[in-house]
A = this chain, B = another copy of it.
Amino acid sequence: MSAIRHALTNRREDDFAAWYQEVVSAADMAEESGVRGCMVIKPWGYGIWERMQRLLDARIKEAGVQNAYFPLFIPLSNFEREAAHVEGFAKEMAVVTHHRLIADGKGGLIPDPEAKLEEPLVVRPTSETIIGDAMSRWVQSWRDLPLLLNQWANVVRWEMRTRMFLRTAEFLWQEGHTAHENAENARVETMRALEMYRAFAEEDVALPVIVGEKPENERFPGAVETWSIEAMMQDGKALQAGTSHYLGTNFATAANIRFQDREGSQQLAHTTSWGLSTRMVGALIMTHGDDDGLRVPPQLAPQQVVILPMLRGDDGDGPLLEYCEELRGTIAGQQAFGEKLRVLLDRRSGKAAAKRWDWVRRGAPVIVEVGPRDREAGKVSMLRRDRLWGEGGKPGFEAPTREEAAQALPGMLAEIQSGLFDEAAVRRSRNITRDIDSFDALSGFFAEDRRYPGWAEVQWCRPTGPALDAVVERLKALKLTIRNVPVDAEPADGACLFSGAPATERILVARAY
């Protein structure tokens, strides 16, 4: 029996959903806003999203993509132009119908009937149609291509069942939109964005992902191809962490994005879009969290090192704070991952132990406690969040000198970053099963009494139309979905799990968020 008293009430192995909610709350990530389906992202959660923005934005700019900003509101008629697109989104959009409020005569307010919009406006669920309009104005000649745009924005999709970071009515994301001379160039861009997402997920979020194409039934409404990165959460479910779409000429036709080609004739542009959202914060929590709260990869931690002076409200506090401030300065002068270290000296009053557990639950990578005796000995008490528990169920503090601590930090942070990735990668490998060769075996693998079964990689013959629908229905009965066709999977060498015909490729099947 472990003597460890964990910082959270819920254990991952007992009730993953309750554990997730507790981490979101205990790590000060977000909370319900009182507005249906909308969350408040609290400073620590938003700080992590800001780090994601900064690191992904650098990758976006590196690729020559330019940021811009397009309207929040999209006229209803824009959605009527692309049939598959509207079919996919029409059911869940916020619709603005009035532009003024008036008093209702009973002390309240109502939308002013005199101020009804002639054409309702939709709050953007995604921006293909409105950005397509701009592209049609900006693209005249092949010289204007490729046109590589991105926007950081809020979008709204009315969701019936919401869950913080994973599925909320309003969420934050970036959406890339590009136009190209031909299918080949657009497909290259689709894959470039996908590879950018893979690198961002694995290098910055420490989130191992599987890159692959979505099956036909999971395509973005209006897309010719949809590709995704899929990550495994600690309950074995899959989470789609980013998507990249080759849209063919579908949206170019709808928005009339035409250009004069090198031979002088008019052509439709080929477009792509790709997006990654605050969902990634949910993926981070469900991948790196443990029974003591969150563990933030150092690359994304708003504060990588938190210094906690053990203040006593007496004369000793002054010299102690001075000692800590010097330490803070020394650490802040160091670099990790090519940036200055982010270090916070937490001067708040309150018990040191309570503050320590606050930062443990939030997942600050390294906590440095300093008491009067540490100061006298020229030392500090250092605790790594990824090695929280030492012997005897006690926090695993080490006691280096102040100088040793400051020097060790850059390497330690790099080690924590790669350690979190390795841990997740090992867990994922262990939980992908590849020897399932019948639908019955699949059904047994995902039986209700099997806890956190993970993913199954199975072989199929890539059915389309009604045959695919039938497969999707059979999987749905087991609450399963096809995640993607991994690009790195082995070639098929057996029979299709669903039809028995010779298989053509391998797919990942899983429960999913």
A contacts, CB < 8 Å to B = 31, 33-35, 38-43, 46-47, 49-50, 66-77, 79-80, 86, 90-103, 107-111, 120-123, 130, 133-134, 137, 143, 149, 153-154, 156, 158, 169-170, 172, 348-350
Contacts and interface: CB of A to CB of B under 8 A. Distances in A.
B99 A158 contact: yes
Contact of A97 (B50, B107, B111, B137): B111
A57 to B, nearest CB: 9
Contact of A66 (B39, B40, B47, B90): B47
A42 B70 contact: no
22 contacts: A35-B71, A35-B73, A35-B74, A35-B75, A35-B130, A38-B71, A40-B69, A40-B134, A41-B69, A46-B68, A72-B154, A72-B156, A76-B108, A80-B108, A95-B96, A95-B97, A95-B111, A96-B123, A100-B158, A101-B122, A111-B120, A143-B350
Contacts of A143: 348-350
A67 B94 contact: no
Contacts of A156: 72
Contacts of A76: 101, 108-110
A31 B72 CA distance: 15
Contact of A121 (B35, B43, B149, B348): B35
Nearest to A122: B101
Contacts of A75: 34-35
A96 B121 CA distance: 9
B71 A40 contact: yes
B123 A123 contact: yes
A91 B47 CA distance: 35
Q: Which 10 A-B pairs have the closest CB atoms?
A: A38-B71, A43-B66, A41-B69, A95-B98, A99-B158, A35-B71, A95-B111, A90-B101, A97-B97, A94-B96
B73 A46 contact: no
A156 B100 CA distance: 12
Nearest to A159: B99
A134 B34 CA distance: 9
A120 B102 CA distance: 13
Contacts of A111: 95, 97, 120
Contact of A96 (B33, B96, B107): B96
A101 B80 CA distance: 11
A130 B33 CA distance: 8
A56 to B, nearest CB: 14
